[in-house]
Amino acid sequence: MEENNLNNETTPAQTAEEQSIVAEPVTEAPMPVTEPAPVEEPASDVSPWEKYKIAAAEESKNSGVISTDNLASSNLVQGMGSVADGVIGATQVERTPEKPAATPQKKTVAVHSTKNVSLPGVGKVYRGYNIVTPDQAEAWLKRSHIRLATPEEVAKEFGR
């Protein structure tokens, strides 16, 4: 049996039974569209937004969803760690307590300069009030255009 897909000619080798088998397109009847009946809810003083929040809260309790309220009280957070056999991946790690940054207060001195000057090994000062360390202040006070400034002067200059 030989088929020729380019044209629909039948070959003499085809039998009458083979010729009668023809695929007919299948048509489906359209499904009738029915609209759901409107659900009437009893009138209440609760706004639609409040209803939504109540429904969402009930759904999250029932579905096991973790809300942001639960995260604050949890001591575990998502982080990087060893998952299995030395493989690193996302896992639960203990929350590290945040420590306030304890910056040690360095002693500082305010000096007033009438010029912009730099001194090798000491640093730079600009015209006006400058905050420097006590060692730098000792080196700068040897210059005639620099004097020690009082805290009241500095506060008055910067409006405090």
81-129 pLDDT, tens digit per residue, is 888 888 888 888 888 778 877 777 788 999 999 999 999 989 999 999 9
Residues 29-43 pLDDT 10s: 777 777 777 766 666
Residues 4-56 pLDDT 10s: 566 555 555 555 555 556 566 767 777 777 777 776 666 667 777 888 888 87
* pTM, entire model: 0.37
- Give residue limits of the domains in the chain: 109-157
Residue type, 10: T
Fold classification of 109-157 (topology level): Ribosomal Protein L9; domain 1 (3.40.5)
C-beta separation of 147 from 111 below 8 A? yes
**For residue 116, how many other CB atoms are within 10 A of its CB?**
10
Measured distance CA(103)–CA(115) in Å, rounded: 32
pLDDT score, position 41: 61
